[in-house]
Amino acid sequence: MPKSYTVQNTDLLDTQTLEVNFGPQHPSTHGVFRMFVELDGEVIVTLKPVMGYLHRNHEQIAENLTYLGIMPYTDRLDYFNAMTNNLGYAMAVEKLAGITVPERAQYIRVIVSEFTRLINHLSLVGFLLNDLGAFFTPILYAFREREKILDVFEEISGSRMMCNYLRFGGVKCDLSPAVLETMKKITRNFPKFLDEFEALLSKNEILCMRCQNVGVLPKELAVNSSITGPVLRASGINYDIRKVDRYSLYDRFRFRVPLGRKGDTYDRYYVRVLEMRESVKILEQALQDIPVGEILNPKTAPFAKAPRNFKPPVGEDYGRIESPKGELGYYVVSDGTPQPWRYHIRAPSFINLTILEDICLGHKVADAIIILGSLDIVLGEVDR
Amino acid sequence: MFFGLGVLRGLMVTLKNFVTSYFMPPDRGGLFTVEYPEKRLPVIERFRNFPFLVYDKDPENPRCVACEICANECPTKCIYIEKDTDPNKKPLRRPAIFDIDITVCMNCGICEEVCPFDSIYMDHPFEVASSDRLEKLLFHKNDLLKSNDYFHKIRPTHAAAIDARRRAVEEKKKSAAVKPSETGQPPKAQNGGKP
Amino acid sequence: MEILDSIFLNTKKIFLDLLGCWLPDWMILLVNIGIIIGVIAVLGPVIMMYLTLLERKIIGRMQNRIGPNRVGIFGILQPIADGIKMFTKEDIIPQNADKIVHFLAPVLMVIPALLAFAVLPFGRGMIPVNLNVGLLFFIAVSSTSTICVFMASWASRNKFSILGGMRSAAQMISYEIPMVLSVVPVILSAESLSTYAIVEAQARWSGLHWFVFTPWGLLAFIIFFLCGVAECNRSPFDLPEAESEIVAGFHTEYSGMKFALFYMAEYMNTFTVSALAATLFLGGWEGPVLPSWLWFFIKTHALIFVMFWFRGTLPRFRVDQLMGLAWKLFLPLTLINIFVAGGYHLISDRNFRVAGASAVLLVSFLLFTVFLNRKYMPEKRRYDLVD
């Protein structure tokens, strides 16, 4: 991987570089993101990510809301993964206020966040293939499966994507046995779908040609730029917050963390496919032994009715989870009032995006697009 | 390793889906889409869209007492309430104006959760698109008021639970012969109202 | 069956005979040419219209969708609705564009696509012009579309367009060479450049003498077809208009009817390339029972289906891989194929020559993929699963 790329001029022809703006209106920048690219022919000489087109003042708005009022806003950060966003925030506040969560609620949280991981990785693979130029077929197969999971989310939380489902000390509503049965059915059928999906993609020569050895992210660079999530694990570093922090109930389930060896786009793609298979394992176990019981800590139940009475003690805390995109952290400072005094998000997409220039230099335009795709960004979370 | 076999395998997958789309059921490679305006998927009971106000018998006397809790707790502040007054300018326990700007509302359902009077609930109809965002997309009190029967129709289990709880509270009140000054207190609600 | 087979020819003959009662002979000749031109000029847009619908339907089904079905029954009026939309759209010309070239490019783009119809044998005796250099004419004419694509990209003054134009020029010139070379064995075997004569050379034994059933013919067919896909800028070789990378490539700055013209040229090219592949390797209009022109359309549409199938399945190549494929795999293979085809005709023992030719081609394919294109071979990956 070249750190920088110099234009090679021959003696015969005087060439110039071409400056192109990819975005903010571009079919595959995953939202309103701009790459300011200098091209030597098709090769990228410099690349500058320009962000902020989707900035909507999330943190400042949150500081003027009650703790519960922030919850629906977190849905809209990374709009593919509302449930994990909720979970990260709920965990931060629970740590701050010292709230415990009943066991059934913990199980439900694990189940929904693993389903979220399936959704996210499915749509990532689909969008990546769209960036590669496949005409919507993988994304539509992925969305076909995602639809089933979204239906479940709608059934339990009332909304398909903007779930607003978690509450401090539990979850909003209980899972009915029928929903559990649907979940089990989805989990059972999912590996079969993944096999078909992989038959379509994983061994496809064109995909291998396009993705292998493209956008290699070396271990040191990944660690130094605090990359997290599947992007980091594709580079071969064993760091999964589900294993490191063992938050919620993740130490109860048997699952393994897939690691890539090279850290190129193909590894980033395939690690996610393997992660989906591991998520299915977690889901199977969790759906098997979910206990009966409370879904909301009785101490915090009144606060769901009157959010203004919820005043965490003065202090600060940082709650983090392994969101499908990486380490999603919420930093909340309380001054004893119903509103947080400071509220900050460590958004994995944003931090994973910082290495874009380093791993794109010297590659072709087409590679930059798929590298961006494989980093898995959602602009709602990048710009906040 | 024969170059091109992976591509052929991929082609077989799409061909299989092409063929099965003609005669298989949706979950086994058949058509998964629904032709929306003609065919509709059943609306899930817990589905939430924009809020509405419940009245028991008379639209003039809704359950809402204009306490403005929902307006205060609404994260987007899309609810605007003004208390009704009697001819002597004495405030009454019902809203004169109850507006919800549904261009701002984000369907989070927090108003429904915080309401102590079981008055505001999330509605089902989602086809509210309009070209006139000032008039059509600002719901006034009359647009919002819907009967309890309607609530029972869209969410049978939730409404039944709410009604049962309300009845229990009423009976408790009657048997305890509460003082007139306490009638306005919110009924003690735990999570019994959850569907 | 003979009546059906020559129904179009006879209709035309009767019509001309009727006219012959009043008009002089030279006028009849002109009318005859006029009819042919008229038929092709109508056929082109009609083909484009139903191919767009067909593509959307087929890809929709591959993705478990229904595809367009709102306008008319099964959506058959969808192309007309699209046409109306295209006509009524604003025609935008960028401020700094070279206005004349910008206007000319889409118009000129359609002409080679239409000209290519002239040498297609649609059925027994149904060839618009039976040129003795028909194949050469087809290749020559279809390669001029490169110029139009480059005109469009240059005149638009858009950086994405320029990128698309450069890609297109490189791609089309590269793929021309293996495409022509893959046809050489066919010419060797048929001893003619006339498309009609090539079909007749495959006429014996009701189908089993098609060139695709020989080892060299199969390879040449695959290469010709893939190069043809690349020639008409279709997936997985659709780099000039790679949507996810360079927005729309050379037609980024086109709207309305001009855009529709590009679209039309693309679909007509799709048709002509498939038709030519069917003619050269699948025996053209040859076939039992059904009328000849029906056979021609069936074979052509089978190949068109394959093109749509590719589009529904495959991701796109990168520009250097695309070049590598043409220069390092297709070109050497076609060169070897010519020699194999020559040897095939020298050896008379049927089994021996089939086995020998297949073996040589298979070995050379493996050698070329392993040695020349090692860099593009998929790597075997291993993944650690840790606790």
Q: Is the pLDDT of residue C229 over 80?
A: yes
In a domain, B164, yes or no: no
Within a domain: residue B104?
Answer: yes
Q: Cα separation of C347 and C332, whole Å? A: 23
Q: Which domain holds residue C128?
A: 2-375
- Let me know if residue C384 belongs to a domain: no
Residues of B in contact with A144 (CB under 8 A): 32
C385, part of any domain? no
Cβ-defined contact of B11 to C377 (cutoff 8 Å):
no
The answer as to whether C383 is a domain residue is: no
Domain count, chain C: 1
In the 8-state DSSP scheme, what is residue A308?
A: G
Q: How far is A248 from chain C (nearest CA, A)?
A: 17
Instruction: Give tens-digit pLDDT for B95-130.
Output: 888 888 888 888 888 888 888 888 888 888 888 888
Name the residue of chain B whose CA is nearest to A197's CA. B13
Closest partner residue to A259 (CB to CB) among C160, C321, C384 is C384
Nearest to A20 by CA among C101, C252, C168, C317: C252
Per-residue pLDDT of chain A (384 residues; tens, 9 = 90+): 445 666 666 667 777 788 888 878 887 777 788 888 888 878 888 888 888 888 888 888 888 888 888 888 888 888 888 889 988 898 888 888 888 888 888 888 889 989 999 999 988 888 888 888 888 888 888 888 888 899 898 888 888 888 888 888 888 888 888 888 888 888 988 898 888 888 888 888 888 888 888 888 888 888 888 888 888 988 888 888 888 888 888 888 888 889 888 888 888 889 999 999 989 989 888 888 888 888 888 777 777 777 777 888 888 888 888 888 888 889 999 888 888 888 889 888 888 888 888 888 888 888 888 888 888 888 888 888
Say how many domains are in chain B: 1
Q: Is residue B66 part of a domain?
A: yes
Residue B88 lies in a domain: yes
Tell me the CA distances in angstroms from C17 to C5, C9, C23, C29, C32, one per residue in order: 20, 12, 10, 11, 11
CA-nearest residue to A160 within chain B is B47
Which of A205, A210, A211, A308 is the best mutation test for B, with the most CBs of B within 10 A? A205
User: Is B23 contained in some domain?
Assistant: no
| Interface contact B13-A196, CB threshold 8 A | yes
Residue B47 lies in a domain: no
- Choose from A132, A135, A251, A275 for mutation: most chain C CBs within 10 A: A135
Degrees to nearest 5, angle at CA C108 with C106 and C109: 60
Using a CB–CB cutoff of 8 Å, tell me whether A300 touches chain B. no
DSSP helix/strand/coil, A328: strand
Q: Whose CA is closest to B62, among B124, B151, B127?
A: B151
Residue B141 lies in a domain: yes
Instruction: Please report whether residue B44 resides in a domain.
Output: no
- The domain in which residue B102 lies consists of 53-123+131-148
Pick the residue of B27, B40, B46 with the most A CBs within 10 A to test the interface with A by mutation.
Answer: B46
Q: Which residue of A has its CA nearest to C387?
A: A256
